[in-house]
Amino acid sequence: MLAERSHLDWLESEAIYILREVAGQCQNPVLFFSGGKDSICLLRLAEKAFRPGRFPFPLLNIDTGHNFPEVIAFRDRRAAELGERLVVRSVEDSIRRGSVRLRAEGESRNAAQSVTLLEAIAEFGFDAAIGGARRDEEKARAKERVFSFRDEFGQWDPRNQRPELWSLYNARVHPGEHVRVFPISNWTELDVWQYIRREALEVPAIYFAHRRAVVRRRGLVVPVTPLTPPRAGEPIEEVSVRFRTVGDVSCTCPVESSAVSIDEILEETKSATLTERGATRMDDQTSEASMERRKREGYF
Amino acid sequence: MQPLRFATAGSVDDGKSTLIGRLLFDARALQADQLAAVEKASLRRGAAELDLSLVTDGLEAEREQGITIDVAYRYFATPVRKFIIADSPGHEQYTRNMATGASNADVLVLLVDVTKPLLPQSRRHLVIARLLGVRHAIAFVNKLDLAGYARAAFERVRGELESFAAPLRFDSLLAIPGSALRGDMVVERGERLDWYGGPTLLARLESLPGGADRAAAGPLRFPVQLVSPPRAGQPRSYMGRLESGHVLAGAPVVSLPGARATRVRRILVHGAERDIAVAGDSVSLVLADELDLARGDLIADAARPPRETRSLETTLIWLTARPLRPATRYLAQLGSRRVAARVSNVETRLDVDSLREIPFEGEVSANDIVNVRLALQAPVFADPYEDVRCTGALILIDEATNHTVGAALVK
């Protein structure tokens, strides 16, 4: 009878267990919902964990102001369909308050969102924040616990993580501290797409192939937007692309693709020769330790 | 099929990072940008060729010190199976992280350097892994290239390993000769080890059993995580994950505390009714009787219930620099249950070199393995760890710092 349980069943069951531990241990949790594929899976897992009851947490999105409009529309619609509360806090407000200062107007706000995120956590007094990060994404993430402690400054201390044995998670914190919780830590990009197919989950249109004006820069396909204009001498092409990951417009690149269905995305994912972040993120390429440094400062 | 989880361990400089890099590289689990990053980093460090050890070392602090500090998780798949690697630190100071990696592992892959005698740290890894219930071990006897691929050198290490590990009673312990650097016996057999007829490391990993079947064969244990109150015609249900055994609709069960007998009326999986659930399934159970259970209570096999007790004899692994204080109140977390605890008696310490229990003296400090009695403020429901993991494993949390300071196994 065990042989019938698939790999996805096992991952799903583990994630539900983790979500329920958050509900059982934490007073005031929140779930990060960006409208991206990983957090779309989190919402389905939360439905499976808590329905017919309501979710024991609101949804939170940090709006960098540099968004793909389709994703924002999808985010709002999905939250409304579920009948769950969505809280949006924006980097713009942090800029107005002076807690975020950018060197240039068009600069990537990806790192700046850590500030807004920590401000939101402080505003609501959240003691746990559930996110859709996966260990296969990036090498600093590969080291992260499922329940990952953050001090009163929101910092991750990779040298001094709480030991995490079996599935005995310790979410205890003092006031002002919190834990980040990653229910799909053990999922890979392929698992996420397989789950989206199995559960027939809707995803924003930008995950499917569409024609878009781009330039080619350092091996990346960079979309041409008001925030990411072409540089001098870069020819603009219109090519068929899709996004593998959805983040801040100013640092997220699509990949060339003709995949117009989930099945085709799965085929591409199986034969991909670049990792998800390697193919798509401008900000991770700046230094070997970009993600580690951002995470230490409270980044999601 | 459930993925096979294996923990890797070894002493500093045994070549563990190189082995994992090699395994991922030869199994074609690395992608072009990861390889490019490794190539770039190799060049920067002045290496003449691709330094595969750089695939896994993640943190800045680790690169500065050239050692692995914390467990890193890696994922790869072959056509046969999916794998989760818990790449665990070798340095003695980080033994607690090795224990973290081993606690969920089905298999230990121990790196041993053929050019050295068996090091204390390697013995410690074998002991901790076995203590934590890892049943299968593979010793990858590395650096055969530095020993002229000599069979005698391998046999010496194998003899040493087998005589040390015999009392640990692994279900299997296989020594494999090889070279992570040259790629011999990792994924490919290579051409220098004709005298070895056994499987490569990957072939061995593909063939070993996972832990799921064993958990399913145990007695029913269902720690209540959450209670879903009755609403709109829906009865009260108990949410949780079946950690051991299986449950059938209609089966007689007991609830703890109090060992009250009842039956399972319905098994719900995300709203859908099921006849059976097995260990590993997250489900909701509806019971035949109105018992007011709460988070931390347990639903168990009526014929084989666990002990309900306020005193536990345990083997305790101390995980933190601050020594154990017998006067301090800790929180013991066992399944979904948390109760205040005191260490009432430290009896003996396990000497990992001789495997002997020696009378305890002084203080219990980081990485010590001691036999202690825990006195608990409220009852817990316990089984010997060797029999049932979920009711035999607990962590100790320092109430003041909230740190996880100890991991204990019920005897």
Angle CA A242–A245–A246, to nearest 5: 95
B58 touches chain A (CB under 8 A): yes
Candidates B3, B72, B276; nearest CB to A143: B72
User: Is the domain of B337 the same as that of B200?
Assistant: no
Same domain membership, residue B119 and residue B41: yes
Min Cα distance B12 → chain A (Å) is: 17
Cα separation, A177 vs A150, whole angstroms: 6
Boundary residue ending a domain (B210, B234, B260): B210
Least confident of A97-106, B16-25, B154-163, B396-405: A97-106
Question: Domain boundary at B150, B185, B210, which?
Answer: B210
CATH number at residue B367: 2.40.30.10
Count of CB pairs separated by less than 8 Å, A with B: 166
Site from B228, B270, B284, B396 to mutate, A interface, most A CB atoms within 10 angstroms: B270
Q: What is the mean pLDDT of residues A80-91?
A: 96
How is residue A89 written in tokens?
A: 């806090």
Q: How many domains does chain B have?
A: 3
pLDDT digits 0-9 by tens, B88-102: 876 666 677 788 889
The predicted pLDDT at position B12 comes to 72
Nearest CA in chain B to A160: B70
Q: In the structure encoding, which two tokens stand for residue A238, read together?
A: 């219109």
Indicate if B105 and B67 belong to the same structural domain: yes
Q: CB–CB of A252/A281 below 8 Å?
A: yes
Contact: A159, B61; criterion CB under 8 Å: yes
- Do B291 and B344 lie in one domain? The reply is no
Same domain, B290 and B319: no
Q: Is B6 helix (H, G, I), strand (E, B) or coil?
A: strand
Residue B366: closest CA among B23, B92, B57, B1: B92
- Residue-wise pLDDT for A1-48, tens only, equals 444 678 899 999 999 999 999 999 999 999 999 999 999 999 999 999
Query: Is pLDDT of B109 > 70?
Result: yes
Do the Cβ atoms of A143 and B82 come within 8 Å? no
Are B75 and A158 a contacting pair at CB < 8 A? no
- The span from the CA of A247 to the CA of A299, in Å, is 13
Q: In this structure, are B284 and B376 located in the same domain?
A: no
Question: Residue B45: phi, psi to the nearest 5?
Answer: -90, 5
Taking the whole predicted model, whether its pTM rises above 0.80 is answered as yes
**Whether the predicted pLDDT of A201 surpasses 80:** yes
Q: Where in chain A is the domain with CATH 3.40.50.620?
A: 7-193+289-296
| Residue B75 domain boundaries | 4-210
One-letter identity of residue A133: A
Give the tens place of pLDDT for each residue, B284-335. Answer: 999 999 899 999 999 999 999 999 999 999 999 999 989 998 889 999 999 9
Which residues numbered 284-323 in B keep a CB inside 8 Å of some CB on A?
Answer: 295, 319
Question: A138: nearest CA in chain B?
Answer: B58
B2-24 residue pLDDT tens: 789 999 988 777 788 889 999 99
CA B230 to chain centre: 38
Mean pLDDT in chain A? 89
Residues B91 and B238 reside in one and the same domain:
no
Q: Which residues of B touch A21 (CB under 8 A)?
A: 225, 336
Query: Do B275 and B397 fall into the same domain?
Result: no
The share of chain B scoring above pLDDT 70, in percent, equals 96
- Give the pLDDT score at B68: 64
| Residue B272 and residue B181 in one domain | no
Asked whether residue B172 falls in the same domain as residue B268, the answer is no
B 170-199 → A contacts, CB under 8 A: none
Interface test with B, best of A144, A168, A192, A284 (most B CBs within 10 A): A168
The complex's ipTM? 0.94
What is the CATH code of the structural domain delimited by A7-193+289-296? 3.40.50.620
> Looking at the structure, do residues B312 and B297 belong to the same domain, yes or no?
no
Q: How far apart are the first and last CA of chain A?
A: 39
The H-or-E segment that residue B37 falls in is helix B32-44
Residues in chain A within 8 Å Cβ distance of B71: 143
| A247 vs B378 pLDDT, higher one | B378
Kindly tell me the burial class for residue A176, based on how many C-beta atoms sit within 10 Å of its own C-beta (0-12, 13-18, 19 or more): middle
Look at residues B237, B267, B301 and tell me which one is the last residue of a structural domain: B301
